[in-house]
Amino acid sequence: SAVISQKPSRDICQRGTSLTIQCQVDSQVTMMFWYRQQPGQSLTLIATANQGSEATYESGFVIDKFPISRPNLTFSTLTVSNMSPEDSSIYLCSVDMVQGISYTFGSGTRLTVV
């Protein structure tokens, strides 16, 4: 399976600022997914990132708040914009390996907004 490196692993940010989270994969992958996990909750899909096209966002998530880049088949970024304390969560990157047969997750970015 793929090895995913997510940076930063954690951060404490001031409200009103933005944070960009990086997801680097050690092999080329078709699909990359970004999830949010609020404290004590399950994972919620934010968006699906395709290389060379705009990300597809789930209901309740918008590009202005969570812009995503996917410049190549091994890298993606998620930006959390104009942060508020409600954005305090773990953000996880995931990739599919073989047409959705296997999904691998990064270790996540623990974000605290103060």
Alpha carbon distance 14, 3 (integer Å): 31
- Please enumerate in sequence order all residues whose Cβ is within 8 A of that of 27, keeping only pairs 6 or more positions apart, or say none: 2, 74
47 closest CA partner among 57, 32, 37, 38: 57
Comparing CB distances to other proteins, the nearer of 20 and 107 is 107
Binders of other proteins in range 7-66 (CB under 8 A): 30-31, 33, 35, 42-45, 48, 50, 56
CB of 90 to other proteins, least distance (A): 8
CB of 92 to other proteins, least distance (A): 5
Alpha carbon distance 75, 4 (integer Å): 10
CB of 20 to other proteins, least distance (A): 19
13 closest CA partner among 88, 104, 99: 88
Longest dimension (CA), the chain: 40
Comparing CB distances to other proteins, the nearer of 101 and 114 is 101
Binding of other proteins at residue 105 (CB under 8 A)?
yes
Binding site for other proteins (CB under 8 A): 1, 4, 30-31, 33, 35, 42-45, 48, 50, 56, 92, 94, 96, 99-108, 110
